[in-house]
Structure 1
């Protein structure tokens, strides 16, 4: 697959889940196109479409390490995102990065991802958690922030406060995840 073929696949029309799966299969053979795909995510965020972000999320589910060569570009791009259609899948990628780093303790993530990059993920996740998002980005942000609190000690108390403040007005899905997160924090003594 070439960059032009990727562009044509993403921008010809809205693509289905089956087409995403085929595209991801092709992209798995072309790791260098992962960064190009992320640039399309940033582009489509401004245009209000989401083929690239959906595809990016699915590619990262299979080959998260493809993100590492352009991790700085990825984390710098988080603050640029405005469209919830793009934020949702990217918030999921942030959660996967945090799980690889903190839960799985994947050596390549521990070696490659910097504290500065984790801080950028943390900032974006707090913005998504307190912003006017639907439930999915908030759920991914809660998980990411829970993990990030193991490196940045002020995060757990702040996360707890945000969840407690927003719990009464949250949707049932928000309250469910918030309760689980608050229970985990309580077990840590937060």
Structure 2
């Protein structure tokens, strides 16, 4: 199996239904040699197929997050280039997975391989997503990731609080709920 085979499978995905996304994700989970091709297609920002690839990549990494470790340099330098909203949603969720694993008390290989430059790139992109015109899901996952990474970077909590407080009055009910919860966690220094 090669990149062309994977592209054919992505092209056959008719819509965003979970069953379609899972079919491609399971193909990659059963054939890990396809992962680099899936990551590569996910970042082809001039290709709408990248959206389907990002959906599938999210499901793969939800199951096997440690598989991203050899690709952290590429992943973290490319996430800021993603333009399609639906793909940004998947990448914001992946960044949230990474933040959860990195800050968890449970051992993860990511804790060993995630470097400051990777975290900085995720944080920078996260703040860009927070101040850009993205849907609530992107901002909700990003708020959580930034709150988690902010445990080790005090300035992140301060900036995140500022953005949430400035935007909360103009945003949807879902944003307000997530924003209030995030502010409460940051202010009380509760275990995120």
**TM-score interval for Structure 1 and Structure 2 normalised by the shorter chain:** over 0.9
SS state of the match for residue 18, structure 1?
Answer: helix
Asked if the contact 2:10/2:24 (under 8 Å) is kept, the reply is: no
Counterpart position of 1:7 = 7
Counterpart position of 1:150 = 151
Q: Gapped runs of 5+ residues in structure 1?
A: none
Partner Cα separation in structure 2 for residue 104 and residue 37 of structure 1: 30
Counterpart position of 2:28 = 27
Counterpart position of 1:90 = 91
Aligned residues: 188
Asked if the contact 1:42/1:80 (under 8 Å) is kept, the reply is: yes
Structure 1 position 28, deviation (Å): 1.0
Asked if the contact 1:68/1:112 (under 8 Å) is kept, the reply is: yes
With the length of structure 1 as denominator, give the TM-score of the two structures: 0.93
Structure 1 position 25, deviation (Å): 1.7
Structure 1 position 20, deviation (Å): 2.1
With the length of structure 2 as denominator, give the TM-score of the two structures: 0.92
Q: 4+ residue stretches of structure 1 with deviation over 4 A? A: none
Q: Gapped runs of 5+ residues in structure 2?
A: none
Counterpart position of 1:177 = 178
Partner Cα separation in structure 2 for residue 84 and residue 119 of structure 1: 22
Q: RMSD of the TM alignment (CA)?
A: 1.6
Counterpart position of 1:103 = 104
Counterpart position of 1:17 = 18
Counterpart position of 1:124 = 125
Question: How does 1:52-91 map onto structure 2 within 5 Å?
Answer: 52-91=53-92
SS state of the match for residue 154, structure 2?
Answer: coil
